[in-house]
Amino acid sequence: MMSEALETGTPSFMDRFPQEAAVVRASLISSFIALFLGAVFGLIQALHRTDVFRFLDSQYYYTVLTAHGVLMVVSFTIFFLVGVFTWATVRSLDRPLVDIRYTWAWYGLMAIGTLMAVVAILGGFIPSTDISADVLFTFYAPMQAHPLFYGGLAIFIIGTWLAGADYFRAWYAWKQEHPDERIPLQTFMVLTTMLMWYIATIGVAIAVVVFLLPWSLGLLDSVNPLLTRTLFWFWGHPVVYFWLMPAYLLWYTVLPSISGGRLFSDPLARVVFVLFLLLSTPVGIHHQYVDPGIAEGFKMIAMTNTMFLLLPSLLTAFTVVASMEHGARQRGGTGLFGWLRALPWRNPAFTGMALAGLMFAAGGFSGMVNAGMNINYLVHNTIWVPGHFHLTVGTAVALTFMAATYWLWPQVTNKPIFSRPIALAQVVLWFVGMALMSNAMHVMGLFGVPRRTAEPQYQGFDFVASFGSITELRMQLALGGTLLFLSTILFVSNIALSTGSPRMSGLGKPLSEPLSPAADSPKVLDNLTLWFGIAMVLVVLAYILPLASIITDSGIVDPGVRPVPMLVDAANGLGPISAVTDAASRVVAAVVGVVP
Amino acid sequence: MRDASPGGILLGSAVLFVVLWEIRSALGLLAGVDTNGTVFFVGTIIFVAFVAFGLSVGLFQVSAMIFNERRS
């Protein structure tokens, strides 16, 4: 059992805000259920595609893959982040939410939406029903799901919108009482993240509500695959930052305190979140480098914007490591690198977050390969790509969330974590398992092994490995996936057993103040209207011409897309302005045609 | 000098294993050296186990920390 020495005598979040703590608990529990189910499907998938153990027919592989993807990157991550954001907003504003019934309403919508989508996905295992959603997490056309899936997604996203509004309401109420104060850092991070989310979800909302759902219901005969794909990626890349930004929030505001020190710079943290708000969305086309129908110039713009996005991540690496070093030196660490030993490595919350950050660096390097237009062709649609995002969302985000749980859970339950040694073993096991699995995925990707394939061995075909063998790499992938599953079991069990821990008081963990406070930064950083406006302008600049050109070339609901690469739209006889006006007239004609 | 803590040995062994195993990929992809996978894996495990065992029984020691390690 965790030692009572953890008690600080400080009132916990649950002591101070019991109603909000209940919402945080519900959100975290929902996310852990999704994590467990997602891990089961992940293990099935890893053992199936490596041919280690197959108990399902390969026709169900996409059902398994969809369940793994949606449960992990939609349900686990987003339920966890609304829990953390609720905690962070209430804690940093030091006031309760405006109306707890409203808060439960958005949680309920998210839960209902998730259940609908999961039922639709699991229906794929029952051939006798017409319910299925084997469309993967990347659910754009031409693959079609049951309306229940799209309806569930729409309701889930509406729930997140209302959650964001909840945080803005709390901030607005706080602002009335503190008109001259800077926005507290955690609330600032929550609000900028939600603004980014509002912009990003424009794309997926249009894709789902205007095209995919009516198409699934039979109201539309066809949809334009390229258009829905582009709208999906309008959301599909910034959603990566929606997962990452709560991890950043934890790295910036919790990790320094756990390290025994203080955040190096509050202003730098604000700059980073503003940069994410500005740059997260106008980059989605970098997922479409091999798509015909989008001119190369637009892809070049997306690549340039993506490379700019490295800046806030590099700033974060500097600020967080500097904060950790400050903490280590406060604890007595000395020397050029000797301070590393002074960090609290026996604390699973610290070790998990630090290892997550380490793996994120590796994920950043492989991400640069994905983002480069020319070198992307080498790895596009290979298993390299899952190797990359298992380092980013699968470790930087997931491991940070699990590690942070060991710190946060006692504060929202007033019950210590069941076992600290198991927690430490769990985060280390995740690190080793992911290193094995991700390494195998990256290397196999370089050898051309495809992603999203139940039997990449095909009929006796084997890929040529430049060293070792493909069999060896498959075994490495399977071993890594198994270790990750065991790590998940340890995590979920540890949290579940913690509910039996004796209730204690004084488990609150105060967060330290930054070395350089908000007062050191210009007030314009807190002008959310300004940054939201600039972000919208950037999105319009990045997307209006590509979307206009897609609609002009291939219609709004026309399934035929010309399979030819394009250099510039002018080559088609369409200048940029005429492309936009032509697309606009088509949209108007379509709306007029639908509305009687 | 003092003995390493069990947590430190666990974490250090994990990182050491990952670093050594990644070297095999680096040798193969960058230098074109095709090491024997089984031998490399077993060798890595043996080496990591030896280091962990040595640290746990005091065969090797880590530099003393000049502070009282806090559990936070």
- Any domain includes B36: yes
Q: Assess A69–B contact: CB distance below 8 Å, yes or no.
A: no
Q: Are A61 and A48 contacting, i.e. CB atoms less than 8 angstroms apart? A: yes
Distances (CA, A) of A500 to A80, A493, A496, A573: 22, 11, 8, 71
Which residues, 6+ apart, have CB-to-CB distance to A555 below 8 Å? A224, A586
Contact between A466 and B65 using a beta-carbon 8 Å cutoff: no
Mutate: best of A340, A346, A422, A507, partner B, most B CBs <10 A: A346
- Any domain includes B70: no
Task: Based on the residue annotation, tell me whether A146 is a catalytic residue of this protein.
Answer: no
Task: Calculate ∠ Cα A323-A402-A120, nearest 5°.
Answer: 135
Considering the four listed CATH numbers 3.30.1490.20, 1.10.760.10, 1.20.210.10, 3.40.50.300, the one that applies to the domain covering A13-594 is 1.20.210.10
- Any domain includes B35: yes
Give the closest-approach CA distance of B11 to chain A in angstroms: 6
Task: Based on the residue annotation, tell me whether A452 is a catalytic residue of this protein.
Answer: yes
**Distance separating alpha carbons of residues B19 and B9, to the nearest angstrom:** 15
Contact between A435 and B11 using a beta-carbon 8 Å cutoff: no
**Distance separating alpha carbons of residues A588 and A532, to the nearest angstrom:** 27
- Any domain includes B67: no
* Residues A539, A545, A549, A555, CA torsion sign: positive
- Any domain includes B41: yes
Give, for all 596 residues of chain A, the pLDDT tens digit.
444 445 567 899 999 999 999 999 999 999 999 999 999 999 999 999 999 999 999 999 999 999 999 999 999 999 999 999 999 999 999 999 999 999 999 999 999 999 999 999 999 999 999 999 999 999 999 999 999 999 999 999 999 999 999 999 999 999 999 999 999 999 999 999 999 999 999 999 999 999 999 999 999 999 999 999 999 999 999 999 999 999 999 999 999 999 999 998 999 999 999 999 999 999 999 999 998 888 888 899 999 999 998 899 999 989 999 999 999 998 888 888 888 888 999 999 999 999 999 999 999 999 999 999 999 999 999 999 999 999 999 999 999 999 999 999 999 999 999 999 999 999 999 999 999 999 999 999 999 999 999 998 777 777 888 888 899 999 999 999 999 999 999 999 999 999 999 998 888 888 999 999 988 889 999 999 999 999 999 999 999 999 988 888 888 887 766 655 565 554 454 566 777 777 778 777 777 776 55
- Any domain includes B69: no
Structure tokens at A99: 């109306």
Only one residue has tokens 């974060």, namely A316
Contact between A260 and B72 using a beta-carbon 8 Å cutoff: yes
Distances (CA, A) of A298 to A314, A542, A569: 25, 7, 10
Give the closest-approach CA distance of B40 to chain A in angstroms: 11
- B44 lies in which domain range? 6-57
Query: What are the residue ranges spanned by the domains of chain A?
Result: 13-594
Q: Give chain B's domain count.
A: 1
